[in-house]
Amino acid sequence: MTYIMVDVEADGPIPGDYSMVCFGAIVVEPTLDRTFYGRLKSISEQWIPEALQVSGFTREETLGFDDPKAVMQQFAAWIAEVARGQPMFISDNNGFDWQFINWYFHHFLGKNPFGHSSTNLGSLYKGVVRDMFTNFKRLRKTKHTHHPVDDARGNAEALLRIKAEYGLKIRLE
């Protein structure tokens, strides 16, 4: 199974009413050299300035980004290229990231190559260390910049450290 760490930046809290601005993905493997980055044109007239500000882009910039259907087609093709078997979606906050990726795949392509499952890195770490009040973020090497490839890379680094330091039984393809 291929684990793909994903991070999403959006201009609001939910897909459809608001837009996914950009996202990054990285195959979780020691080299961390297979990445995907997409910037998507806004699909909604609604946007929250404070949410958009996190991404570092202006509203005017997002209106000039790539067609969301084309980006999701490119992402699906990239997943098919890098994944062995069923790919597994994993993210720092899959309650947020998953809803956007899943919605965009279903809305624009009619299906999600990840299927119906995702994994939350924070919850996984809490289970491994048996402590609901701890946080994995200190395990990142790459600085959390809100550029989604950087953030996905840092989270992938943390997962690799959880595997190495805590003996997490996970098979990385």
**Residue 125 burial (10 A CB sphere; 0-12, 13-18, 19+):** buried
- Res 171 pLDDT > 90: no
Residue 49 lies in a domain: yes
Residue 36: partners with Cβ closer than 8 Å, 6 or more residues away: 24, 25, 26, 74, 75, 78
In a domain, 87, yes or no: yes
The verdict on residue 154 lying in a domain is yes
Tell me, yes or no, if the pTM score tops 0.95. Answer: yes
Catalytic residue among 107, 116, 144, 146: 146
pLDDT recorded at residue 41: 98
Residue linked to tokens 């950087």 = 150
Does residue 81 form part of some domain? yes
Per the domain annotation, does 50 fall within a domain?
Answer: yes
Q: Which domain holds residue 19?
A: 3-166
**21 in a structural domain:** yes
Q: Is 36 exposed, middle or buried (0-12, 13-18, 19+ CB in 10 A)?
A: buried
Q: What is the pLDDT of residue 172?
A: 85
**pLDDT tens-place string over residues 13-52:** 999 999 999 999 999 999 999 999 999 999 999 999 999 9
116 is catalytic: no
CATH number for the domain harbouring residue 44: 3.30.420.10
Q: Is the pLDDT of residue 173 over 80?
A: no
Number of domains forming the structure of the chain: 1
Q: Measure the CA–CA gap between 119 and 5, rounded to whole angstroms.
A: 9
Give pLDDT, residue 156.
98
Q: Is residue 39 one of the residues assigned to a domain?
A: yes
pLDDT digits 0-9 by tens, 94-140: 999 999 999 999 999 999 999 999 999 999 999 999 999 999 999 99
Whether 172 is in a domain gets the answer no
pLDDT of residue 54: 95
